[in-house]
Structure 1
């Protein structure tokens, strides 16, 4: 069993044992880095079964509203160098309706815009940062198998390659292990919500959208051929995301990818001779979800990011809300582990409820609206005018006036139990 004997027990809140984070995605690693940079003396162990995969871009854009959180961790300069900033965002009609621009904005140099950075690159940077810290340990090739929550510690069993097992006696366990979270399931937290009425398919392709007048981020509005077309990098890779019936099988989705892309790409993605001018690098179907766990914390075990909540991608708030979860939780844990919290148990409960409400109100609601928006009928000018009149986001983009998104940040100093 791995433990730490370097610290004495302090008023029942900390035993000086390690903090274990299940999941080495962006959220789990960001939480680990913040804890490693803090005054706590606890070791921080990240357990992740899979290495970052360059062929799996997954999340690719980071919203400006979380840039201050990146800056607090000293990450923003390096993230900016690793990725690139979006030059524009727009809403447009489908190819069948001429790809006509409904509303758009081109960003000026220095103006806040999305940071385009594939998830594997972000993960790689964070892994290196955590490993550089004396308190940081990233255990690649390992996963959580079970845990036992005790009064003053939590016993965590992990399994590595070949079935090798270890047990870690920890102060706290945090599950940042994604939508199918083992920690959430073992915690017994009900995943409330629903599966939406369509599957979404993320295809990463090489194609010159700029040549056809497309912006870096394009929300395609159509009842059937809706989706998001966004630049991933400067090497020609783009994400084309679209919807298919929820009943479609994986085989049907893969067989129909070129037929669907022909409806999403200008000129069906072909040249004058009818030859395809695009290359498909990745096809990833997934069910669109709007879900939130009934609680994010029980005893000495918590969850954050996709392990705690899921949303559709059309508002771009999924990863952003997970990063905000981690930022708030790190402050709470530091307050507890440095013996400054007035009521540690109450503080963790308050964090859980505050983050739940933040997701439900500032993430889930705008994301549901964004999902409905891309499926609107805009085949006539009358319908376009109606959208511009009734949709404040599209109207703001059309008039050039900024529309501030709701804050994802929780002011933890206002939580019950802080001090």
Structure 2
């Protein structure tokens, strides 16, 4: 640190990236950069490793797969509440069930509920241990300057003003992002009509670990209530309350309200507070050398688990692109695709959760009447169940319209994950571009591997052959051979032909094409795809073009 005029301090940090905010998104970005060998400095207003609250509790299986590669999923799965069933009730009657099936060989449950503060503590410990992340707690970022060559992040620290300089900055500083505001980036959207009281409590309950949602229950008439577990003997209930309700009045009646939901059971209240949902999306996710991620870029209601999960995918999308540009492996234009891909994803999530909230918490008495009519009809006619919007749960957003995606079946989606020997398929693929060959039914895996290995002059050094369940696993040279024992990794591909997948560092499929017979054709396809990915041509498709069908 060196003094500067005016009494402030200047940090000439060796970190190429300054990350503002040590929540799940900021720390995931730091760890993913570290896996690419990139140092980062994380500035956090808090002086503690976590927020201390449950907040975003639901982790979706694909995000859990990513967190597993970062070394934190084992504890989440051990201590969290895994679930694959959601029940919806109207008044006293169970209306419908949403099941999220699991299949043989899947390592991760569809959803695990685990408190955000514990996720943050696990990520913080991993980041500290990796040696490439430098935390600076007790720093309140006040502004960010970008002179075109580097960014200067201004912060108030324990000893006074500081400036942290780096080539790039990631603002993961939450819904009230000072960075976003200082850059003049609009954060458009709306606030929902629903205000909620949330209570975390400890109790030994004879209930299954499942999501339960009530419309107009007898214990809370005219409103909605959500309940789920987030760990051993740990539960959470969200009650919709009046927009102008006195929070203290509800807090004084909390024990009675809990008994209305769970009956006569001994409970210990851990924490309780009220909140109001917002549906917002920044007009752009990047400006110069500064990038917005997580709630700083988008915020949605929690009915669908699309907040933290999509924020962590922001980090996964951005980290490898920054690392490639910093290492000189890609043109700076690659960074423009972060806004393109992730803003399209955010707009989709805002649209989906907005429709959910308009159904669940209508803004008018007429809206409530229409909603209740739908619920009443669904109670007697199973064909009307699809009219009930109890929250469409998170799924990764496909980049089918991205300039980094070669149009074709399966392209733009996450490659499936599952066990391949001692690790998982995505663990083999993550972090760099990979070539994955999948033999068709009855094809010789040895011959497919030979064809892939013989394609020279390709900058993608990872070459893998994934053998279907019925196929023998040969010894090969030039490629790594993996066996899909259950068929979950190869079953989505037609089995009548050999396939070549070009997989991005974030495990999204950039291209899925029939594997050419000649090495020269293979090399040409791969070279074209990687050239486009590492030096993309913009402008790109609109967000609407990328919406999943």
Query: What TM-score range do you get, normalising by the shorter chain?
Result: 0.7 to 0.9
Distance 1:73 1:206, change over 3 A: closer
1:370 to 341, 344, 356: 356
Alignment pair present for 1:195 and 2:191 = yes
The TM-score normalised by the length of structure 2 is 0.63
Which residue number corresponds to residue 384 of structure 2?
389
Q: Offset at 1:224? A: 2.8
Structure 2 matches for 1:13-412, cutoff 5 A?
Answer: 17-40=15-38, 43-50=39-46, 51-53=48-50, 55-81=52-78, 83-93=79-89, 97-98=91-92, 100=94, 102-105=96-99, 112-161=109-158, 164-209=160-205, 211=206, 213=207, 215-222=209-216, 224-234=222-232, 236-255=233-252, 257-258=254-255, 260-261=257-258, 263=260, 265-266=261-262, 269-270=263-264, 277-342=266-331, 344=332, 346-361=333-348, 363-372=349-358, 374=360, 376-377=371-372, 382-385=377-380, 388-389=383-384, 391=386, 406-408=395-397, 410=399
Residue aligning to 2:502: none
Supply the distance in 1 between the matched residues of 2:100 and 2:65 (Cα, whole angstroms).
22
CA contact (8 A) 2:82 2:109 kept: no
Superposed CA deviations along residues 51-93 of structure 1, whole A, max 9, x for unmatched, are 1458511111101132333244344334333x33424422232
Is the CA contact 1:227–1:374 (under 8 Å) kept in the aligned structure 2? no
Flag structure 2 segments of 5+ consecutive residues without an equivalent: 1-9, 362-370, 406-531, 536-549
CA contact (8 A) 2:378 2:385 kept: no
Contact map agreement 1:91 1:219 (CA 8 A) in 2:
yes
Moved more, 54-63 or 67-76: 67-76
Question: Structure 1 residues 144 and 196 mapped into 2: Cα distance closer, same or farther (>3 Å)?
Answer: same
2:404 — aligned with what?
Answer: 414
CA distance in 1, matches of 2:213, 2:386: 14
Aligned to 2:418: none
Partner Cα separation in structure 2 for residue 408 and residue 373 of structure 1: 23
Contact 1:314 / 1:370 at 8 angstroms: preserved in 2?
A: yes
Aligned residue-pair number: 382
* Cα deviation code 1:79-121 (max 9, x no counterpart): 333x334244222326xx3363532548779673212221111
Task: Work out which of the two has the higher radius of gyration on C-alpha atoms and give 1 or 2.
Answer: 2
- How large is the Cα RMSD of the aligned pairs? 3.1
Q: Report if aligned partners of 2:377, 2:384 keep a CA contact under 8 Å in 1.
A: no
SS at match of 2:199: strand
Counterparts in 2 of 1:371 and 1:407: CA distance versus 1, 3 Å: same
Conserved? CA contact 1:324–1:408, under 8 Å? no
**SS of alignment partner, residue 315 of structure 1:** coil
Distance 1:198 1:129 in 2: 37
Q: TM-score, normalised by structure 1?
A: 0.81
CA pair 380-44 structure 1, distance change in 2 beyond 3 A: closer
**Aligned counterparts of 1:404 and 1:260: Cα–Cα separation in 2:** 27
Q: Work out the CA distance in 2 between the residues paired with 1:393 and 1:418.
A: 44
Instruction: Report the counterpart of residue 13 of structure 1 in structure 2.
Output: none
Aligned-partner Cα distance in 2 for 1:157–1:48:
12
Contact preservation (8 Å) 1:228, 1:242:
yes
